[in-house]
């Protein structure tokens, strides 16, 4: 279980996170959502041990503030927002870097992982020559290689994804979210910072809604993504609703007060 | 399913290429070393001497002096300096995540020079205890300290919160170079005639001053620091993704950085102390190798050492033969070769400077 207690982070004199607490269970996908500047990314960086924080964060039995890098690396992998590379690495070479971070030794896994993110035949392509979305998926393959098996000898492993779908088209957004959900279904834990509320509502088991460095909602999508809470967090009028087919939760930005409502949206 | 995919597009593993390159570059170094022993102004023949030895005859005094006291130390020094500079370049490029980083360009060489010049000019003013304990090691130690401080300064200035700004790095390198050069200028201004002679010979950048005495101090330092640098492959591969990503992959980032900075400082500092300012080996060699065998640092570092040593030996042979019996300063040759390569990288990858 991921357990963060009373986390505060300051950048210089400016406090960015104000004593927030959250938990996430293995086997679930947690989406951290909130407007720009609400502290999502800072919370993610605290959870992955990249910023100094006060409070206590544990992953299973491991205190992440004091753990050795290689102990943490065996338990969790982190996907950054974007990763520019200055050297002419090929896609498969980037993915293999992930293999070395984790506990897997089978080299062929790099190719399997590339295929998993829809990049069959990209192994020998130069990373620098790929599009932003392709680079993002190569990085996802690297991260998957690091924690290939979601559970190892009874211990769940974790994926931390910082805006994993931000530069992807809608088809690949769905692929990536499905990979994340499959990882959770197989017993691993997933925590993702998300911009897209609809994808979050579709795939997440748990939503953490943030505003101004505080958590203002924490629960299932239906509990957290209410008209009032979402409108308050994002500072504009948002209507939430359920899709006719399977009752999934979705948000309509068309209802924001400064936009002309579209006829289709009104009838929904 | 996987098999058919990979069969459709044959998958090339560049690690094999890098491993084969160890062998070929090793062979190249052996051949170049033999050539370096054979070539020289005096016309003494290596083969003649070897033939004599094989037949159990004694060597003439000239043969012994030329081969053993002049050419052999020069060969060892060429290998040490070339290897040190190339590996230092590769490590710095990995550390700064940029193929344009190089001890010469970023002021590390100038820092080492400042250390060396201070000893040549002000050494006599040091306490006698220091002078006697360090002896001939004084110059290399000072050059190492100069290189180390400039590395630390450079890293502090150009890296904020784990990200290196390349523009800041290059500009900081220029500023530090200018600053150290200015300090060196002040010292040269203060120097007397004897010291000036010593300074001029040293700063021309040459392997001509090679002797077993110098090498007995310099070679072990360079060997140890290069060997240490060659263990950084995995860490530098991780750092290529950024410090945060390297940490997430379980790499001890701070330790890797500390070792990298120390190894580069010791290798560059010592190389500068014994051979003066020889530039561009550190930028040309790793760049060529990345084109041929890929950027994986585990193969790259060793290959850089081998190719750097060969390249400097070739440059030294040209320097000895081109205007014989006079000798070109080798620094001129490496700069002639290196500056165009630097510009070529810059032109092909303009984006690198914006990162």
The CATH number for B292's domain is 1.10.3470.10
> Residue A251 — left, alpha, or beta (φ > 0 → left; ψ -120 to 50 → alpha)?
beta
Cβ(A151)–Cβ(A185) below 8 Å: no
Q: Per the CB < 8 Å rule, is B244 touching A146?
A: no
pLDDT for the residue numbered A212: 92
Structural domain span for residue A97: 2-216
Q: Per the CB < 8 Å rule, is A101 touching B251?
A: yes
Report the share of chain A in percent with pLDDT over 90. 66
The reply to whether A143 falls in a domain is yes
Q: State the DSSP code for B46.
A: H
Give A45's contacts (C-beta < 8 A, 6+ positions apart).
A9, A51, B244
Is residue A182 packed enough to be buried (19+ CB in 10 Å), middle (13-18) or exposed (0-12)?
A: middle
Q: Which of B328, B77, B45 is nearest to B212 (CA)?
A: B77
Tell me which chain A residues have a C-beta less than 8 angstroms from the C-beta of B234.
100
Q: Choose the closest CB to B249 out of A89, A108, A146.
A: A146
Q: Which helix (H) or strand (E) element contains residue B331? A: helix B330-348
CA-based nearest distance A107→chain B, Å: 11
pLDDT for the residue numbered B196: 86
Cβ(A124)–Cβ(A151) below 8 Å: no
Rounded to whole angstroms, the Cα distance separating B310 from B289 reads 13
Using pLDDT thresholds of 50, 70 and 90, give the confidence band for residue A116: very high
- Count: domains in chain A: 1
Q: Which of A50-54, A259-263, B124-128 has the lowest mean pLDDT?
A: A259-263
CA-based nearest distance B343→chain A, Å: 16
pLDDT for the residue numbered A264: 44
Q: Per the CB < 8 Å rule, is B294 touching A78?
A: no
Rounded to whole angstroms, the Cα distance separating A249 from A224 reads 11
Cβ(B315)–Cβ(B34) below 8 Å: no
The reply to whether B109 falls in a domain is yes
CA-based nearest distance B93→chain A, Å: 9
CA-based nearest distance A202→chain B, Å: 28
Tell me which chain A residues have a C-beta less than 8 angstroms from the C-beta of B8.
121
Cβ(B80)–Cβ(B219) below 8 Å: yes
CATH number for the domain spanning A110: value is 3.40.50.300
Rounded to whole angstroms, the Cα distance separating B279 from B334 reads 6
pLDDT for the residue numbered B13: 85
Q: Per the CB < 8 Å rule, is A78 touching B242?
A: no
Structural domain span for residue B169: 24-33+61-348
Alpha helices in chain A (DSSP H): 40-47, 69-75, 91-101, 109-116, 132-146, 170-185, 197-203, 221-224, 227-234, 263-267
Chosen from A16, A49, A68, A87 to mutate, greatest number of chain B CBs within 10 A: A87
Interface of B with A (CB under 8 A): 2, 5-6, 8-9, 11-12, 14, 93, 97-99, 166, 234, 237-238, 240-242, 244-245, 247-253, 290-291, 294-296, 352, 355
**Nearest residue on chain A to B254, judged by CA atoms?**
A69
Chosen from B250, B297, B346 to mutate, greatest number of chain A CBs within 10 A: B250
Tell me which chain A residues have a C-beta less than 8 angstroms from the C-beta of B238.
97, 101
> Mean pLDDT across chain A, nearest whole number?
88
State the CB neighbour count (10 A cutoff) for residue A75.
23
The reply to whether B2 falls in a domain is no
The reply to whether A228 falls in a domain is no
pLDDT for the residue numbered A216: 93
Tens of pLDDT, residues A202-246 = 999 999 999 999 999 999 998 998 888 888 898 888 888 776 666
Q: Per the CB < 8 Å rule, is A90 touching B294?
A: yes
Helix/strand number for chain B, H first, E second: 18, 2
Tell me, yes or no, if A90 comes closer than 8 A to chain B by beta carbon. Answer: yes
Q: Choose the closest CB to B294 out of A93, A102, A121.
A: A93
pLDDT for the residue numbered A260: 47
**Nearest residue on chain B to A88, judged by CA atoms?**
B295
Rounded to whole angstroms, the Cα distance separating B86 from B301 reads 8
pLDDT for the residue numbered A266: 40
Q: Taking CB atoms and an 8 Å cut-off, how many pairs form between chains A and B?
A: 101
Tell me which chain B residues have a C-beta less than 8 angstroms from the C-beta of A87.
93, 97, 99, 240, 290, 295
The reply to whether A235 falls in a domain is no
Show pLDDT as tens, one digit a residue, over chain B (355 residues): 444 444 445 677 888 888 999 999 999 999 999 999 988 777 778 888 888 888 888 888 888 888 888 899 999 999 999 999 999 999 999 988 888 888 888 888 899 989 988 888 887 777 777 777 767 778 888 888 898 888 888 888 887 766 666 678 778 888 999 999 999 999 988 888 888 887 877 776 778 778 888 898 889 999 999 999 999 999 999 999 988 899 999 999 888 988 998 899 899 989 988 888 788 899 889 988 998 899 999 999 999 999 999 999 999 998 888 887 788 888 888 888 888 887 887 777 655 544 4
CA-based nearest distance A238→chain B, Å: 36
Strand partners of residue A161: A79, A192
Cβ(B156)–Cβ(B175) below 8 Å: no
Which tokens belong to A242? 């359920």
Mean per-residue pLDDT, A32-47: 93
Using the predicted structure, report yes or no on whether residue A247 has a pLDDT greater than 50.
yes
Q: Which of B242, B271, B267 is nearest to B256 (CA)?
A: B242
The reply to whether A141 falls in a domain is yes
Chosen from B4, B99, B170, B245 to mutate, greatest number of chain A CBs within 10 A: B245
Hunting for tokens 């950084």 — which residue is that?
A: B232
Q: Which of B184, B222, B279 is nearest to B76 (CA)?
A: B222
Which tokens belong to A132? 């932003």
Q: Choose the closest CB to B247 out of A69, A85, A112.
A: A69
Rounded to whole angstroms, the Cα distance separating B29 from B175 reads 37
State the CB neighbour count (10 A cutoff) for residue A133.
16
CA-based nearest distance A212→chain B, Å: 23
User: What ipTM is given for this predicted complex?
Assistant: 0.86
User: What is B147-189 written as a DSSP string?
Assistant: HHHHHHHHHHHHEETTEE-HHHHHHHHHHHHHHHHHHHHHHHH
Q: Choose the closest CB to A88 out of B237, B251, B290.
A: B290
CA-based nearest distance B84→chain A, Å: 21
- Count: domains in chain B: 1
**Nearest residue on chain B to A92, judged by CA atoms?**
B13
Cβ(B103)–Cβ(B147) below 8 Å: yes
User: What is B270-324 written as a DSSP string?
Assistant: HHHHHH----SHHHHHHHHHHHHH-S-HHHHHHHHHHHHHHHHHHHHHHHHHTTT
The reply to whether B10 falls in a domain is no
pTM: 0.86
Rounded to whole angstroms, the Cα distance separating B66 from B101 reads 38
Mean per-residue pLDDT, A167-181: 93
User: What is A165-231 written as a DSSP string?
Assistant: TTT--HHHHHHHHHHHHHHHHTT-EEEEE-S-HHHHHHH-SEEEEEETTEEEEEE-HHHH--HHHHH
pLDDT for the residue numbered B225: 95
Name the CA radius of gyration of chain A, rounded. Answer: 19
Tell me which chain B residues have a C-beta less than 8 angstroms from the C-beta of A108.
2
pLDDT for the residue numbered B3: 43
Tell me, yes or no, if A129 comes closer than 8 A to chain B by beta carbon. Answer: no
Q: Which helix (H) or strand (E) element contains residue B346? A: helix B330-348
Tell me which chain B residues have a C-beta less than 8 angstroms from the C-beta of A88.
290-291, 294-295
Using the predicted structure, report yes or no on whether residue A265 has a pLDDT greater than 60.
no
Which tokens belong to B193? 């005639």
């Amino acid at each position: 279980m991921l357990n963060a207690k009373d986390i505060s982070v300051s950048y210089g004199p400016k406090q960015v996170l104000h004593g927030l607490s959250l938990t996430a269970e293995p086997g679930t996908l947690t989406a951290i959502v909130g407007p720009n500047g609400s502290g999502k990314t800072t919370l993610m960086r605290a959870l992955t041990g990249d910023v100094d924080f006060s409070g206590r964060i544990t992953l299973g039995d491991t205190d992440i503030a004091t753990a050795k890098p290689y102990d943490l690396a065996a338990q969790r992998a982190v996907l950054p927002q974007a990763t520019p590379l200055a050297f002419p690495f090929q896609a498969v070479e980037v993915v293999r870097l992930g293999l070395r971070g984790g506990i897997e030794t089978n080299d062929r896994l790099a190719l399997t992982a590339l295929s998993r993110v829809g990049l069959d035949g990209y192994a020998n392509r130069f990373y620098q020559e790929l599009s932003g979305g392709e680079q993002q998926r190569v990085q996802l393959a690297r991260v998957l290689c690091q924690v290939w098996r979601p559970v190892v000898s009874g211990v769940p492993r974790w994926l931390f994804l910082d805006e994993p779908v931000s530069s992807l088209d809608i088809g690949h957004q769905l692929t990536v979210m499905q990979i994340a959900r499959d990882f959770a279904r197989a017993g691993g834990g997933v925590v993702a910072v998300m911009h897209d509320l609809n994808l979050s509502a579709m795939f997440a088991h748990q939503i953490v809604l943030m505003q101004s460095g505080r958590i203002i909602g924490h629960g299932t999508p239906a509990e957290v993504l209410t008209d009032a809470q979402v409108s308050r967090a994002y500072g504009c009028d948002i209507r939430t609703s359920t899709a006719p087919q399977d009752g999934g939760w979705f948000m309509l930005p068309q209802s924001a007060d400064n936009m002309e409502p579209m006829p289709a949206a009104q009838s929904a | 399913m996987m098999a058919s995919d990979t069969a459709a597009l044959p998958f090339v593993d560049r690690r094999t290429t890098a491993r084969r390159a160890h062998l070929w570059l090793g062979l190249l170094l052996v051949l170049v070393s033999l050539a370096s022993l054979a070539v020289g102004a005096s016309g003494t023949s290596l083969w003649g001497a070897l033939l004599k030895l094989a037949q159990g005859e004694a060597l003439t005094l000239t043969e012994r002096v030329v081969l053993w006291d002049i050419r052999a130390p020069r060969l060892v020094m060429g290998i040490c300096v070339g290897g040190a500079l190339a590996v230092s370049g590769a490590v710095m490029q990995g550390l700064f995540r940029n193929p344009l980083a190089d001890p010469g360009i970023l002021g590390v060489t100038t820092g080492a020079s400042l250390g060396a010049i201070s000893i040549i000019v002000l050494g006599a003013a040091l306490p006698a205890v220091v002078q006697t304990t360090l002896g001939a090691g004084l110059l290399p130690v000072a050059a190492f300290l100069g290189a180390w401080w400039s590395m630390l300064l450079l890293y502090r200035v150009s890296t904020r919160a784990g990200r290196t700004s390349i523009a800041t790095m290059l500009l900081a390198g220029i500023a530090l170079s200018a600053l150290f050069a200015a300090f060196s200028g002040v010292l040269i201004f203060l120097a007397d005639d004897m010291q000036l002679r010593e300074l001029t010979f040293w700063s021309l950048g040459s392997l001509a001053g090679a002797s077993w005495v110098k090498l007995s101090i310099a070679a072990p330092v360079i060997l140890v620091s290069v060997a240490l640098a060659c263990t950084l492959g995995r860490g530098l591969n991780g750092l290529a993704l950024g410090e945060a990503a390297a940490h997430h992959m379980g790499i001890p980032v701070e330790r890797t950085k500390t070792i990298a900075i120390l190894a580069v400082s010791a290798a560059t500092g010592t190389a500068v102390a014994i051979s003066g300012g020889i530039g561009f080996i550190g930028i040309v060699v790793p760049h060529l190798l990345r084109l041929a065998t890929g950027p994986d640092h585990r193969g790259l570092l060793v290959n850089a050492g081998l190719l750097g040593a060969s390249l400097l030996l070739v440059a030294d042979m040209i320097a000895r033969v081109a205007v014989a019996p006079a000798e070109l300063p080798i620094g001129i040759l490496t700069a002639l070769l290196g500056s165009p390569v630097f510009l070529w990288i810059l032109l092909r990858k303009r984006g690198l400077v914006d990162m």
